[in-house]
Structure 1
């Protein structure tokens, strides 16, 4: 008795009949529970009854030679019916995602990156012998163990790195190489590879072609491939170091007043599948950010878009702070492009304001470095 509601439902039926009142009297006489009646016109009514009484209504309408059609339904019985119609689609979608997720736990491709001495085919066979092949579970892959075993069995491998990216196992190999043969030194002159002011010249062979303090242009001779006395000079392969002051100009615009957009730490994300170019969202961002940064991350199965909220924050810097911060940032940027022996020995600084709350910092960096091109040119 407590579960009778599971079989209950109600339907709304539009009945077209010459005498609607007679139909209602017949239904009441048969103890049909008429839940609601609405007259549409003189010969049409909409009757709401329980689903169990539908056959009685149908029989009564046919006897009176009327017409009827169902215009609405409700209740648990019909809810279950509608759910059954869509259940296959829902179950199919869930199974599809489960299968994709399960397949993503395997490695389906082994990508080998070698250079000259190690054959990818040979390395693939060695990986196969230790159980590493397409179809292996990711959890069964121990990158450190793979690296050690391959380095032990292949004498041409200096070191090996194994990384799982998506459903691909990527193998990177650094090969052992024989030391290069000593090259014969070439005759000629050494020239400057950039402009600069000569500070020191160390001619290990050959002789200096310019004095200290000279402003030199790129391509001019700095070490001659000649040695010996002036009366009896002889040619020899030049070699040396030429230290010179070189010049790099950089500038930066810095906001010192007003407002700027900065990240607040709040974030949200979309997660979706990309199937034949169509996005199927598993999760949609719900936070409404007025300003945001967006980063897209593409995977083998799931794709993600991360949103970082940004808000306007006041900016108030002194000119001195702005200049100091700019010089430091520009210097760090320059050092990334210089060789290790290069040293910043001086800075020439100019500043100007643009009238819009910004300051433009221009810096000429004086860098001491070796400017010699070690490839000799003809005399």
Structure 2
């Protein structure tokens, strides 16, 4: 049994038992001091006892097939317990505040504001070369020194300001504005920049030398820098558009049988932050994928690298579906190299078995686009 200060602890318990009177008689026979008895209903009573008798009361209740629960407590014992839990909570909160104040003395992100001519990526790399990167202590940052060195490193900077706000180093840059280039009007003729079959001609200045349906080669004159009658011609700056069908050939090998690597749906990740140039992992990838796609997501403070497992799947598509998907993939790769006004108007598709599992797909794309080289050439 407890003694001293712990004897001052008292608990209020609620007891559900078939014969409460018998239970109370047992308590008195066992010399267990009951301070207060309150009847809740026929089979339920509420009593107050010293805490050091609590275990004895529990055993008696169990012998009589009853139920007991604590509904209240008072005394120094429980006050000390509450203060103890609050003490550790206060200590934990104090440690958190100290760590927060400590980490607030470092710069964890760099924000760069520019306009048109200066790339934020270029400025970020120049800052890294000066030793200014996330994780640096604020006391190691000399604003004037950074501003002067960046101005010397980049001739496009007119003025810049470096300041720390919170845990972010903010770089604001005003750029030098060069006077617009005056395009010198040049006389001459416009020529074709590639082979093509003429579909439409728009001569805004000068006169066309080609007609719809005519096939022209790269370097042929298609708009002359001349206006006026045959007897009285005069030179002008040529300008116009000649839309023509041009031809691009692309090919690829596709599997039509066997297996192919595809994502299984399984994924794992590395999550870490960089402090003082070292990686501190919050989560480490534990799955060992034989084949995978690796995709990095970089944030201001935390970096996440995702690993997507790839396994062999049997090819279930038909030959026609595989050819159709391959043509679409070739078309997308072609569009990446075309100008905005260019349009694919037709496709000539040929296929050839490359092996028992592979097929060679060759596509000639017919693309309608402007074939005028806008830089006049003298003849």
1:181 is displaced (CA, Å) by 8.4
Distance in 1 (alpha carbons) for counterparts of 2:99 and 2:356: 56
Is 1:112 the equivalent of 2:88?
A: no
Distance in 2 (alpha carbons) for counterparts of 1:349 and 1:119: 53
1:211 is displaced (CA, Å) by 3.6
Change (3 A) 1:206 1:273: closer
CA contact (8 A) 1:108 1:135 kept: no
1:175 is displaced (CA, Å) by 10
1:373 is displaced (CA, Å) by 1.3
Cα deviations across residues 256-277 of structure 1 (Å, max 9, x unaligned)?
Answer: 2111221122212234466777
| TM-score, length of structure 1 as denominator length | 0.55
Q: Which residue of 2 aligns with 1:366?
A: 366
Distance in 1 (alpha carbons) for counterparts of 2:260 and 2:174: 47
Distance in 1 (alpha carbons) for counterparts of 2:297 and 2:101: 18
CA contact (8 A) 1:100 1:301 kept: no
Distance in 2 (alpha carbons) for counterparts of 1:170 and 1:267: 37
Change (3 A) 1:281 1:239: closer
Give the alignment of 1:1-379 within 5 angstroms.
102-103=103-104, 109-115=110-116, 121=159, 124=161, 133-137=163-167, 167-169=168-170, 183=183, 185-272=185-272, 281-297=281-297, 302-379=302-379
Partner-residue secondary structure (3-state), 1:340: coil
Distance in 2 (alpha carbons) for counterparts of 1:195 and 1:111: 46
1:375 is displaced (CA, Å) by 1.6
Cα deviations across residues 221-258 of structure 1 (Å, max 9, x unaligned)?
Answer: 11111122222222122111111110011122222211
Alignment gaps of 5+ in structure 1: 3-93, 126-132, 138-166
CA contact (8 A) 1:107 1:169 kept: no
Distance in 2 (alpha carbons) for counterparts of 1:242 and 1:374: 11
Partner-residue secondary structure (3-state), 1:232: coil
Distance in 1 (alpha carbons) for counterparts of 2:277 and 2:111: 26
In the alignment of these two chains, the number of paired residues is 251
CA contact (8 A) 2:347 2:363 kept: yes
CA contact (8 A) 1:209 1:223 kept: yes
Distance in 2 (alpha carbons) for counterparts of 1:291 and 1:108: 34
CA contact (8 A) 1:112 1:120 kept: no
CA contact (8 A) 1:199 1:244 kept: yes
| TM-score, length of structure 2 as denominator length | 0.55
